[in-house]
Structure formats: structure tokens, C-alpha cells
Amino acid sequence: MIRHLALLQLSLLCVTTADAGPAGLAAHPAAAAFVARMEAEHGFERESLLAALATATYQDKALRLISPPKPGTGPRVRSWTGYRARFVDPVRIRAGLAFWDAHRASLERAEQRYGVPSEVILGIIGVETVFGRVTGSFPLLDALATLAFDYPPRADLFRRELENLFLLARENGRAVGSYTGSYAGAIGFPQFLPSSVRRYAVDFDGDGRIDLERSEADAIGSVARYLAEHGWRSGERVADPVALPAGADVDALLATGIEPRLDRHSLSAAGIELPQGIELATLVDLESPGKPTEYWLGYRNFYVLTRYNRSSFYAMSVLQLAQALREARISSRQVARGAP
């Protein structure tokens, strides 16, 4: 503990306050309570915390990006086809195949250890960052302090993540201001929040440290572990399209929520049959303006994907990118072997 504190204090001395103003976010009214709690619960020194926050610059752009549309600007249109087109596209498929070839050994090892298929791991990393191409350039200390202190709808979440950023920096002997990522505080290839880095990330390349910003192997292993610890079931299906019979009470089926709770009996009564080996499902609706709604049965593994991002659109994009990558890889191998 003493060594970690010394390293943190030393690293803080190396951070310039030139761009943050004389007091940065240390002068924010909410900073005092945060500093007091970090002192009491984690043994940080008050002056070190204030020195770090003094280097943090208010990020108005982070607030704008995370906020819902302003009244009068109209709701965001829910469109599955538009959402899918952003993530299941030729750029990601080409990049994913190259990433798969380059890191095949790590992917196979992660699949063996955690039971998560290589293409699903790739689906997460591809949707999140185009395989490391777009990881964000926001200083995380700035973004998280801004959201923790000035975004009331989710202030508790971002205070926890700001707390975890300080803890992560201390545990790694790293300057708390040296992390960059998304406007919401996510880090590296898999876009883990600081709390997830501390809880789920693994040193998968064996170099003695966890680095989700530069180590593809660490990112691969960490995504696989995250999904496994949230209940991924090896070898089970994820989701299947379903044609609803005329007269099905769609609203009642959807009302059960995203977690699989519809059993074989209740679905059979609605005219829907579950595949063999699956006992519970959820009904997923994928809406697009001007087009018929797609319906899918989502199983336990689909629910696990929504633990990464609590959106059925997100989970389905991961699944369909994974499927597209697997099919493209099979096709490329057949071409390489000269198969018809």
C-alpha cells in the first residue's frame, strides 16, 4: 500500500496543470465529497487527490455526447436496419478477418479456457472499436470527473468509475491522468470501464501486466472472461429468428423483459416452439421504420451479450458480426483450398 501511494504521488507530480486552469476540477463543489470518501475508504492522501483533480479539464463535449436529445429536437428514431449497418459492414468484416489471422492462437486459447467462441469475442471487439482502430481520445480523468460531478442522471455510476480509475492507476503505479478512452470512460480494445478492468481483465499474454490499450491478447482474454463470468454457456445457441403466428400476443411476450423467462409451455401456447436443448427464451423485437419488425428468440447467451451493453440491438449486432466473420472465414478457406 505504501509503495502504491508513493508511486501515485510521484506520478501526479509529473502531470502539468497548464491546460486545466489554476484549480481544474478540484475546485468543483462536488469534488470535496469525492475526495473525503477516497480518503476514508481507500487511504488516499487528500493533497494527492486534489493535485490530480486540479489537472482535470471540464469536458463539455462528454456531457453533450452522453445527454439525451433536448426537448423539441424530436426523439431518436429506433431503427434496427440503420443500427446494424453501422456495425455489420465490409470494413469490420475485413478488419475482423485480419485480426483473426493475426491473433488466432490467443483466440483459440481463450475459447478453450472460457468456452466463448472466437467469433463472438471478435464480434465484441469489432463492434466496440473496429478491432482497436477507434478507442477514443478523451482524457479519462477529465471525462469521468466531469460526468461524476456534473451529470446528475448517472452521477453515481460515474463517481464509481472515477473512484475505480484512481484505484486502477494506484494498483498499476501509473499516472491517473495518463489514461485515454471514450467520452464515457471506456478503455482500450474492448472498451472496459475502469471497474470492469479491475474485475474482469486478465494478463493473457503473460507479460506480468494487464494492458487493454496495447495488448490484443489481453483484450481477447478479458472479453472471454467477462462473458464467461456473466454466464456464457459453451456450445449453446445464442438466438434464432422466429415467425410469430397470427394472433400471437406480442405485447405480453415482450413484457417478460430481456432475460429469458418464457418457458417451453408458455411459448407453445403462443404457437412458438423452442429448439431442442433450450428451455427458456425471450422474444426480441428488432424494429425499423417502414419495415416489418424482425422477431427473434434470444436464449441465455443472448442475454449474456446484453450484459456487455444493455441493448438488444447491440447484442444482435455482435451476434451477426460474429456470424458474418465465421462465414467469411470458412469461405476464404474454401477458396484457398480450391474448393468449388
Q: Catalytic residue positions?
A: 128
Gap between the Cα atoms of 186 and 140, Å rounded: 8
Cell numbers 470527473: residue? 145
- CA separation, residue 330 to residues 95, 104, 291, 299, 323 (Å): 16, 14, 31, 25, 11
* 3-class secondary structure per residue, 183-248: CCCCECCCCECHHHHHHHCCCCCCCCCCCCCCCHHHHHHHHHHHHHHCCCCCCCCCEEECCCCCCC
The helix/strand/coil state of 79 is: coil
Cell numbers 456534473: residue? 150
Q: Which residues of 186-212 are buried (b: 16+ CB within 10 A; e: fewer)?
A: bbbbbbbbbbbbbebbbebbeeeebbb
Gap between the Cα atoms of 37 and 129, Å rounded: 34
Q: Which of 36, 76, 66 is nearest to 153 (CA)?
A: 66
CB 239 within 8 A of CB 300: no
Q: Which residues pair with 138 in a beta bridge?
A: 181
